[in-house]
């Protein structure tokens, strides 16, 4: 199936999607708003591939070929010839609307327009285009090269063909897919993890148990590879809070409303691994 992919957004998620697609044989345009962002994204891909080579998961030849298939750009018109476009920009509906309005004008009539959102309803994103039947959610997980799941989300008007194309693409990059048939805020995975994380934070905030013991309980009692608080630190405390607020705003369900502690951590800049401190200390 391999063809041409354009990834809009060269951050952690976008560069990860670009990497796995390039390894799978796709020609990839990786687009962001400035050269600093695209250079950082490409450097991250090179570093990730080097680590995979060191672990004998990718050959040197496959690494070099994948890097050759990735072209960085600041021009959104690069999406004009893409078979699939995956948007991976900041999780705000107005930012995604701007991207999809532009893509609707630029992209080929046959292109599939995908969003990597983890919580915003796909129908809301697709509504600003003239082709909502060609818009689908492709929710990859971080770090993309290592995580096996891709959550496909059907918007209210997404066609069967669009879902099938998105599935074929994701599976070609080595992912196993689940399909969310009803476009609810947070889909399946973000709703599940948000409910668990909000309760874990509430328990920690109330002094019921330490962060270490709450995570240990989930790892040893439930078989989770990583506890909910460490998962929040990895994802980003701010990202998780924003996702849960999106779900709460859509549903009004109090179990998704962030505990006060989570909001204070965001205000204080304790955002998890990326800031050096979240529920745990990463300063070393």
**Do 149 and 91 belong together in one domain?**
yes
**Do 69 and 155 belong together in one domain?**
yes
For residue 279, is it within any domain? no
Q: What pLDDT digit, counting tens, does each position of 239-250 carry?
A: 999 999 989 998
Band the pLDDT of 253: cuts 50, 70, 90.
Answer: very high
Q: Residue 194 is encoded by which pair of tokens?
A: 């948000």
Residue where a domain stops, chosen among 125, 157, 180? 180
What is the C-alpha to C-alpha distance for residues 18 and 1, in angstroms, rounded to an integer? 16
The number of folded domains in the chain is: 2
Band the pLDDT of 119: cuts 50, 70, 90.
Answer: confident
Q: What pLDDT digit, counting tens, does each position of 50-87 carry?
A: 999 999 999 999 999 999 999 999 999 999 999 999 99
**Do 159 and 75 belong together in one domain?**
yes
For the cut 90, the answer to whether the pLDDT of residue 91 exceeds it is no
**Do 57 and 111 belong together in one domain?**
yes
**Do 152 and 247 belong together in one domain?**
no
Q: What is the pLDDT of residue 2?
A: 78
CB contact burial 38-70 (16+ within 10 A = b; e otherwise) = bebbbebbbebbeebbeeeebeeeebeebeebb
Q: What is the pLDDT of residue 182?
A: 95
Band the pLDDT of 1: cuts 50, 70, 90.
Answer: confident
Band the pLDDT of 122: cuts 50, 70, 90.
Answer: very high
- CATH number, residue 146: 3.40.50.720
For residue 164, is it within any domain? yes
For residue 283, is it within any domain? no
pTM score = 0.91
């Amino acid at each position: 199936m391999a063809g041409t992919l354009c990834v809009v957004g060269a951050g952690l998620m976008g560069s990860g999607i670009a990497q796995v697609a390039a390894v799978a044989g796709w020609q990839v345009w990786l687009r962001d708003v400035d050269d600093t962002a695209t250079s950082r994204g490409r450097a991250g891909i090179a570093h990730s591939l080097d680590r995979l080579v060191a672990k004998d998961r990718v050959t040197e030849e496959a690494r070099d070929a994948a890097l050759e298939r990735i072209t960085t750009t600041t021009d959104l018109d690069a999406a004009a010839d893409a078979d699939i476009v995956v948007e991976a920009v900041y999780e705000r509906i107005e930012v995604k609307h701007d991207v999809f309005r532009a893509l609707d004008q630029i992209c080929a009539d046959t292109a599939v327009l995908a969003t990597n959102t983890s919580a915003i309803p796909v129908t809301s994103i697709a509504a600003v285009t003239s082709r909502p039947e060609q818009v689908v959610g492709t929710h990859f997980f971080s770090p993309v090269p290592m995580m096996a799941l891709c959550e496909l989300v059907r918007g209210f008007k997404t066609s069967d063909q669009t879902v099938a194309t998105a599935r074929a693409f994701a599976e070609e990059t080595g992912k196993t897919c689940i399909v969310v048939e009803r476009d609810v805020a947070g889909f399946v995975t973000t709703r599940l993890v948000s409910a668990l994380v909000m309760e874990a934070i509430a328990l920690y905030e109330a002094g019921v148990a330490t962060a270490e013991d709450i995570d240990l309980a989930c790892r040893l009692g439930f078989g989770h590879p990583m506890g909910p608080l460490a998962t929040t630190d990895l994802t980003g405390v701010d990202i998780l809070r924003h996702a849960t607020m999106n779900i709460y705003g859509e549903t009004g369900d109090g179990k998704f409303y962030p505990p006060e502690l989570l909001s204070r951590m965001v205000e204080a800049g304790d955002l998890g691994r990326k800031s050096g401190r979240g529920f745990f200390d990463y300063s070393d």
